[in-house]
Structure 1
């Protein structure tokens, strides 16, 4: 038991160091020998735990994706607030771990990396569908969410590479695209029904309610006083 705990701790230390290394350098620029030396461990420990540099890299990407998923699960509050928090966490990851972040959202040719990305992407898409509609929803809604995620990935990469727009502008564009995607899906498929959580959030925000249900859904302040 002690040996297992020690091995798990050693593996965790290596993963954290790898996350930092692959976030700042490209795969080919990272030396596992130098990395191990900086931690005061034998280079063979990386091969022991991960089977070599390739397995180590994939494990680091898997860790980054799992940590982001854990951040999303830990969020609390109204639906719209959690959406905004999730966008902020996404942008934090892009700024703090650019290398591993880009590997997970770029249109990479690496089949194993793409498999990790697609698996986690599908999990986020399913969670969004469940949050917004209460089910896996319809083909139209799933297509809308998939397109929305592609937009988010693209605009965040654009921001990372060019810095032509501010973080706040990226955040606003992402949120607007999410709302627009949901609205487009609702108009394209009348069978889609929103969850009560989303409806409650919309009711507390008149512009949002008007967006989803039309101007007639928002009571006139003067009329409501009569």
Structure 2
């Protein structure tokens, strides 16, 4: 049986005070890892910069890796819930909202985004699982808007997954070299999605491409 990770353990003691303290440590860690790589920060560094005893971090997260995974999981939870929301919006507005929100997340969480997309520290199965969850959430969101539901043929799912992987590569390049505005990159990604949807429709007529995405400005 797969052993449960430290980051996924129940909140110590289950008290509101413990939950608040844990959330505070995650918020501190998110700032620490925003501009510093995992390997560059020791537990002593983290404790000193967070102004807490090192033992407190071990108490809540058991290890530096457990702390790091908890930070990533907490950050990504917001992105996934954002991608899955907005069902009341017109499909085109929801598409732009989802892609813009995705880019905003990457823009403001460089280290966490790179860790998720690149697989984290070495080959980390848990970080890969987090990344796959984000991909599936985005694919499901696009399918809802394009086809009216998350059910897809293998070809349609693969086509959308190819597009999402391209978005990851473009976003990684963009946060390293932000030569385009976020709005310009969002528009480019929307247009490229139109091409992907048309290709899916040609190869699998059961999933025809919706009308081109346009919104009033």
Report the TM-score, using the length of structure 2 for normalisation.
0.81
Mapped pair 1:12 → 2:26: no
Equivalent-residue separation in structure 1 for 2:100 and 2:17 (angstroms): 35
Deviates more, 1:162-171 or 1:79-88: 162-171
Distance 2:173 2:143 in 1: 26
* CA RMSD of superposed structures (Å): 2.4
**SS of 2:57 mapped into structure 1:** helix
Contact 2:29 2:71 in 1 (8 A): yes
What corresponds to 1:191 in structure 2?
A: 206
2:123 pairs with one of 88, 105, 110: 110
d(CA) in 2 for partners of 1:187, 1:80:
21
1:126 to 133, 140, 149: 140
Unaligned runs of 5+ in 1: 210-226
List per-residue Cα deviations over 1:45-67 (Å, max 9, x = no partner). 11111111011111111111111
Distance 1:123 1:72, change over 3 A: closer
Unaligned regions of 5+ residues in structure 2, if any? 1-12
Paired residues in the alignment total 199
Aligned to 1:174: 189
**In 2, Cα distance between equivalents of 1:135 and 1:82:** 15
Cα deviation digits, residues 7-51 of structure 1 (max 9, x gap): 111100011111111121100122333333444422111111111
Distance (Å, rounded) in 2 between the aligned partners of 1:103 and 1:136: 29
Q: Select the residue among 12, 27, 31 that pairs with 2:42.
A: 31
For 2:33, the equivalent position in structure 1 comes to 22
C-alpha distance in 1, partners of 2:137/2:102?
A: 15
2:44, 2:54 within 8 Å by CA — same for their partners in 1? yes
Question: In structure 1, which of residues 150, 168, 171 is the aligned counterpart of residue 165 of structure 2?
Answer: 150
> Given that residues 143 and 150 in structure 2 are in contact (C-alpha distance below 8 angstroms), is that contact kept between their aligned partners in structure 1?
yes
| Residue in structure 1 matched with residue 72 of structure 2 by the alignment | 61
SS, match of residue 45 in structure 1: helix
Q: 1:168 to 1:120 in 2, by over 3 A?
A: closer
> How big is the shift at 1:141?
0.5
Deviation larger for 34-43 or 45-54: 34-43
Return the match for 1:48 from 43, 55, 59. 59
Computing the radius of gyration over CA atoms, which structure comes out larger, 1 or 2?
1
